[in-house]
Amino acid sequence: MGITSKPTVFAVLAAAVVLIGTTVTVFIPLLMPSTQPISPYIKPYTAVEQEGRDIYMREGCNNCHTQTVRPLRTEVLRYGEYSKPEEFAYDRPFLWGSRRTGPDLNRVGGKYPDSWHYKHMASPQNMFEKSNMPPYAWLAKNPLDTSNSFKKTSVLGYGYSERDVQQQITQYRTSVTDDNYASKESRDQVTPPELRKELTEMDALIAYLQKLGHDVKNMESKK
Amino acid sequence: MSDAGYNYRVVRGFAFSALFWLVIGLIIGLWMAVEMFNPALNITPWLSFGRLRVVHTNGLGLGFGLAGIFATSYYMLQHLTRTPLLFPRLAQAHLYIFNAAIALGALSLFAGMNTTREYGELEWPLDIVVVIFWVMFAINVFGTLIKRNEKQMYISLWYIIGMTVAIAILYIVNNLEVPVTLFKSYTIYSGANDANVEWWYGHNIVGFIFTFPILAMFYYYLPKSTGLPIYSHRLSIISFWALNFAYLWTGAHHLMLTPLPEWIQTVAMAFSIFLIAPSWGSVVNGYYTLQGNWDQMRTNYLAKFFIAGITFYGLQTLQGPLQGLRTLNAFFHYTDWVVGHVHMGTMGWVTMVISASFYYMIPRINHTELHSIKLANLHFWLILVGQFTWTITMWVAGIQQGAMWKATNPDGSLMYNFLDTVTSLYPYYQLRFAAGVVYFIGILVFVWNLIMTVRQQPQEAR
């Protein structure tokens, strides 16, 4: 009597019904360029920024920080220009988040100098006594593992050669370990002496944070 | 083995696995609740909030939730088909692999191996293990259904079939990723598309883990424990197919006002409102089942759990679509309001129904009486008060934070800096922790009651 006595037919029908909404709202948009537009102004992450992004993911920063500024007046006032789809073209995965226990970070790049981040990351409570952000001082005590950096950027399709990746790493190491580095004092304060000439996980994480919202500013000013 | 040769070993195994992961997941939840107002508890990297949050959600959603679902599904499957499990050894292997996967999952998330895609955070090797144990489960479901001795499939079996099929599609499509190392992979989707795929998954994993199988339990164990038949078979048919159809369109209500194309958001909004109908179809069906027998709320402790549970389901399915409306979403999204919403569903609806189903099932498979109905009543009131205090506190906190984010001075500038909007919530966070403790004590009573039940000498086999 009907499909309630035919389990296989029932299952096939249930799957078909499930796939209708899935096809219209998920599969078809995957094939539409309008869902994920690209812009020549938005560049992929460097190998160091990508390592920083992976640390951001490892520590679950996305559980407390969003990365989408909504087109609402007070939100634009607080965080800056609202988010555009183009700026996420290289984000695998997206890190928009779902809860703002801490502030949105989509436009945090360039908002503070590196020194601010070194101090804040090492102890948020030293900077803001009542902050509930976990301290991340230990990130400065971990040397950055770059052994998979090239493999990561090739999986992500950034189009870097192995030499490009080495160059990016060396270049960033040179800039943050340089005696004239603007945030040298803060960096030295949080980094143990034996790692001051190396890249640490905190260096990479800050490189990533400084990239957020950076490229899209060029795109917006040219529009 | 007992009764008609039904396999209860695997049912018992999954039931007590569920209780184990429930206690672990709640302890982590309590720890995090304190971290929210006292960051000194972020003692080590693996105890920091960012890592614990995923252990909490995965431990309870996949560990407790799935184990409870497997336990009750294997029980309902055998009784509703009047057929013993077709592959009992496969089911036993399923139990072991499942627990190994959850344990490894928890350890890997503690270690920071986290794909960050909400409710699908496990790295690729464990994704494969999840698919394997899901297939093992599906083989027994369909094998037993095909061999069944009862011609008609009852409502609960529809929901089990719906879940089995939908979770397979959701989990595989969402977790397509390219491995870099054994412990690291990148998803194949990027940017706005990734967000759309992930929330299609994230929303429907709630639909097909925290709704479908829980409704299967509701439709089976409510009539069983009250002796009253379900009010309307026709209503349950309409509810089932409408729910199965509409759920999949709504994921993007988690992405309101983001860079995702507006039409996808609007479609999601419309279907979210539509979802109220099939959800309330089950609520009404539940209420009318008790028609004329409401005295059972006083005399039958199981009826209390089921009716309170379906009431929270009803509230949940009204609140959810309303939050999905663009205007309201602009206010509530990203605040603690949503945290309160989720926990009404999990601590209210899901846990209440699983609790009552276990209370009905465990004594029967052990041929004993429940250790103590008094303790079951205590458990009920503790988790009811704990949960309601918890969720109401978070709703109020959410409204306050949403309003503070939006408050402006007469000159149009922002009235509060971000930190003010956080620190003003600490009193709520303290109250939330206290409510969590009450709830946790209720759960300990539940676990104790079931342990004492299975430790009794079995009565004569019936």
- Whether B3 contacts chain A with CB within 8 A: no
- Count of CA atoms in the C-beta half-sphere (13 A) of B336: 26
Contacts of A97 in chain B (CB under 8 A): 334
Asked if A21 and B249 come within 8 Å (Cβ–Cβ), the reply is yes
For A74, the closest of B180, B408, B423 (CB atoms) is B408
Answer yes or no: is A42 within a domain.
Answer: no
- Residue A43 burial by Cβ neighbours in a 10 Å radius (0-12, 13-18, 19+): middle
| Amino acid letter, residue B199 | W
Is there a single domain that holds both residue A25 and residue A111?
no
Give the residue on A whose Cα is nearest the Cα of B162: A14
CATH class of B257-262+273-462: mainly alpha
Mutate to test the interface with A, among B53, B142, B164, B165 (most CBs of A within 10 A): B165
Restricting to B residues 79-118, those with a Cβ less than 8 Å away from any Cβ of A are 112-118
Residues 197-216 of chain B with CB under 8 A from chain A are 197-198, 200
Average pLDDT over residues A84-110: 97
Chain B contact set for A131 (CB, 8 A) = 39, 419, 422
B174 and B201 Cβ atoms separated by less than 8 Å: yes
- Give the pTM: 0.97
Tell me if residue B184 falls in helix, strand or coil: strand
Range B227-247 average pLDDT: 97
- Residue A72 included in any domain: yes
Domain assignment present for A173: yes
Percent of chain B beyond pLDDT 90? 97
Chain A's closest residue to B175, CA to CA, is: A93
What distance in Å separates residue A184's CA from the closest CA in chain B? 25
| Residue A41 within any structural domain of the chain | no
Residue A181 lies inside a defined structural domain of this protein: yes
Residues of chain A with C-beta less than 8 angstroms from the C-beta of B186? 92-93, 152, 155-156
| % chain B with pLDDT above 70 | 99
Give yes or no: residues A90 and A153 share one domain.
yes
Domain CATH number, residue A119:
1.10.760.10
Flag if A60 and B198 touch (Cβ within 8 Å).
no
Residues of chain B with CATH 1.20.210.10: 1-188, 257-262+273-462
Q: What is the pLDDT of residue A222?
A: 76
Nearest partner of B159 among B206, B198, B109, B212, judged by Cα: B212
How far apart (Å, rounded) are the C-alpha atoms in residues A65 and B5?
53
Lowest-pLDDT range of A2-11, B103-112, B216-225: A2-11
Q: Does A198 lie in the same domain as A96? A: yes
CA distance A179 to chain B (A): 31
Task: Check whether residue A20 and residue A94 sit in a common domain.
Answer: no
User: Does A93 sit behind a cis peptide bond, omega within 30 degrees of 0 on the bond before it?
Assistant: yes
Q: At A220, is the pLDDT very low, low, confident or very high (cuts 50, 70, 90)?
A: confident
A94, A186: one domain? yes
Local confidence band at B305 (pLDDT 50, 70, 90 cut-offs): very high
The answer to whether the CB atoms of A25 and B115 lie below 8 A apart is no
- Same domain? For A103 and A15 the reply is no
Asked if the C-beta of B183 comes within 8 angstroms of chain A's C-beta atoms, the answer is no
Flag whether pLDDT at B459 surpasses 80.
no
- Compute the distance between CA of residue B401 and CA of residue A101 in angstroms, rounded to an integer: 10
- Write the DSSP string, B58-85: HIIIIIIIHHHHHHHHHHHHHHHHT---
Token pair for B192: 């706005």
Q: Positive or negative, the Cα torsion across B126, B128, B131, B135?
A: negative
Please tell me the predicted confidence (pLDDT) of residue B1.
44
Residues A67 and A129 in one domain: yes
Query: Does any domain span residue A168?
Result: yes
Structurally, how many domains does chain A consist of? Answer: 2
C-alpha to C-alpha distances, B330 to B84, B253, B266, nearest whole angstrom: 52, 11, 14
Average pLDDT over all residues of chain B: 97
- Tell me, what's the pLDDT at A223? 64
Same domain? For A181 and A204 the reply is yes
Query: Are A85 and B260 an interchain contact pair (Cβ–Cβ within 8 Å)?
Result: yes
Interface test with A, best of B186, B211, B267, B423 (most A CBs within 10 A): B186
Q: Is B24 on the interface with A (CB under 8 A)?
A: no
Helix ranges (DSSP H) in B190-232: 191-209, 212-226
Q: Answer yes or no: do A21 and B247 touch at CB < 8 A.
A: yes
Judged by a CB distance cut-off of 8 A, whether residue B180 touches chain A is yes
pLDDT digits (tens, 9 = 90+) for A149-195: 999 999 999 999 999 999 999 999 999 999 999 999 999 999 999 99
pLDDT at B363 > cutoff 50: yes
Are A25 and A104 part of one and the same domain?
A: no
Domain that holds residue A98: 47-222
* B116: closest CA of chain A, how far (Å): 6
Alpha carbon distances (Å) from B407 to A73, B394, B401: 11, 20, 10
pLDDT above 90 (res B161):
yes
* Nearest-CA distance B284 → chain A (Å): 22
Angle at B436 between CA B397 and CA B53, to 5 degrees: 75
Check whether residue A136 and residue A213 sit in a common domain.
yes
The reported pLDDT for the residue numbered B2 is: 52
Tokens standing for residue B156:
């609960």
Question: Cα torsion for B93, B95, B101, B102, to the nearest 10°?
Answer: -170
Within-domain flag for A13: yes
Q: Which of A99, A134, A152 minimises the CB distance to B39?
A: A134
CB contact under 8 A, B257 and A72: yes
State phi, psi for A123 to the nearest 5 degrees.
Answer: -155, 95
* Least CB–CB distance from B152: residue in A1, A103, A128: A1
Measured distance CA(B36)–CA(B10) in Å, rounded: 39
Cβ distance of B180 and A151 shorter than 8 Å: yes
Instruction: Indicate whether A100 and A174 sit together in one domain.
Output: yes
ipTM score for this prediction: 0.97
**Nearest chain A Cα distance for residue B184, angstroms:** 9
Q: Do A98 and B118 touch (CB under 8 A)?
A: yes
A40 lies in a domain?
A: no
Q: Is B412 left (phi over 0), alpha (psi -120 to 50) or beta?
A: left
- The per-residue pLDDT for B4 is 75
Number of A–B residue contacts, CB under 8 Å: 246
Q: Give me the pLDDT at residue B460, please.
A: 60
The architecture in CATH of the region B1-188 reads Up-down Bundle (1.20)
Instruction: State pLDDT tens for residues B169-200.
Output: 999 999 999 999 999 999 999 999 999 999 99
Is pLDDT at B143 greater than 60 in this prediction?
A: yes
Neighboring chain A residues of B336 at a CB cutoff of 8 Å: 99
Contacts of A54 in chain B (CB under 8 A): 184
